[in-house]
């Protein structure tokens, strides 16, 4: 979950709020005294803890009056936060990494779930049976989201260059519709939209996992080249070099909470 770092806005995770409320064992405050919070999220399994907390009354018990606004993607939810339409948002780390460059006031306050079901879903009637068949085809993706990142890694892992396909930007809410309607031949879809696309296309669908097949060593070698001895310490060393450039004292990093 993500929030802006401002004086009066949410600065504690829901888990902390719930824990504090449980420890105090104080009577529930009147509804009128509750802090009003707008939470932007996506109706997906990895946001399930939010639905549970709402259904069980945990927010109210913690002194919060929470309005839950649903969006088609985490990036859209984050956009609502950045526009001032929400106080807290749920978003994947990949989309946040790009947004935090433009708005350094964004802060991660909790991790509430993991999604591992993103897929490339294609139409068999477009002569697609293997990943290699995507060459020359129109492939939908949602820019600036996990769909964008995982499509790129999927292509790398399958030896397909980006210019071998016709990449078509598709809003997250239309990922399933775009491939089902035939607007694109395939789509890099979030888990929920991949499920819908597969259900609608039925036997005409062919799909591949694009999120859990990334060989870390292979990606390192693809970036640095086969002629370089690459280990996972290469990335760590470059992070150290970067911190030396941007931090006053790299040996004493600034953190949101004490280490440990």
More confident residue, 172 or 254: 172
Please state, rounded to an integer, the average pLDDT across all residues of the chain.
Answer: 82
- Could you give the angle at which helices 146-157 and 216-224 cross, rounded to 10 degrees? 80
CATH of domain 119-209: 3.40.190.10
Long-range CB contacts for residues 152-156, cutoff 8 Å, separation at least 24? 153/210, 153/214, 153/219, 154/120, 154/188, 154/208, 154/210, 154/213, 156/218, 156/219, 156/222
The CATH code of domain 2-108 reads 3.40.190
Indicate if 119-209 has the same CATH topology as 2-108: yes
**Global pTM value:** 0.68
**pLDDT tens per residue, range 175-220:** 999 999 999 999 999 999 999 999 999 999 999 998 876 655 555 5
For residues 117, 167, 106, 71, the Cα torsion angle rounded to the nearest 10 degrees is: -60
The pLDDT tens digits of the residues spanning 19-67 come to 333 444 555 555 457 899 999 999 888 888 999 999 999 999 999 999 9
- The predicted pLDDT at position 156 comes to 86
Of 14 and 227, the one with more pLDDT: 227
For residue 117 the two structure tokens come to 């079901």
Distances (CA, A) of 243 to 125, 134, 200, 247: 50, 40, 48, 5
Task: Tell me how far apart the alpha carbons of residues 156 and 214 are, in angstroms, rounded to a whole number.
Answer: 9
User: What is the residue extent of each domain of the chain?
Assistant: 2-108, 119-209, 216-246
CA distance linking residue 113 with residue 1, whole number of Å: 9
Q: What is the pLDDT of residue 113?
A: 84
């Amino acid at each position: 979950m993500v929030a802006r770092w401002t004086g009066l806005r949410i600065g504690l995770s829901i888990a902390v709020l719930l824990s504090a409320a449980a420890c105090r064992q104080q009577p529930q405050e009147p509804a009128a005294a509750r802090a009003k919070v707008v939470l932007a999220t996506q109706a997906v399994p990895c946001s399930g803890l939010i639905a549970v907390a709402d259904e069980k009354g945990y927010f109210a018990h913690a002194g919060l009056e929470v309005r839950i606004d649903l969006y088609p993607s985490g990036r859209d939810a984050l956009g609502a936060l950045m526009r001032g339409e929400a106080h807290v948002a749920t978003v994947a780390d990949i989309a946040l990494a790009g947004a935090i460059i433009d708005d350094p006031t964004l802060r991660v306050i909790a991790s509430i779930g993991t999604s591992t079901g993103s897929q490339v879903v294609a139409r068999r009637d477009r002569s697609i049976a293997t990943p290699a068949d995507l060459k020359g085809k129109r492939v939908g993706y949602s820019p600036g989201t996990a769909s964008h990142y995982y499509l790129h890694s999927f292509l790398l892992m399958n030896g397909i260059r980006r210019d071998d396909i016709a990449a078509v930007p598709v809003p997250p809410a239309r990922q399933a519709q775009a491939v089902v309607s035939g607007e694109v031949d395939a789509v890099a879809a979030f888990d929920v939209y991949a499920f819908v696309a597969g259900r609608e296309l039925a036997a005409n669908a062919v799909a591949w996992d694009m999120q859990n097949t990334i060989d870390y060593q292979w990606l390192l070698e693809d970036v640095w080249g086969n002629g370089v001895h690459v280990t996972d310490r290469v990335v760590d060393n470059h992070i150290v070099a970067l911190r030396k450039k941007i931090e006053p004292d790299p040996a004493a990093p600034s953190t949101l909470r004490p280490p440990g």
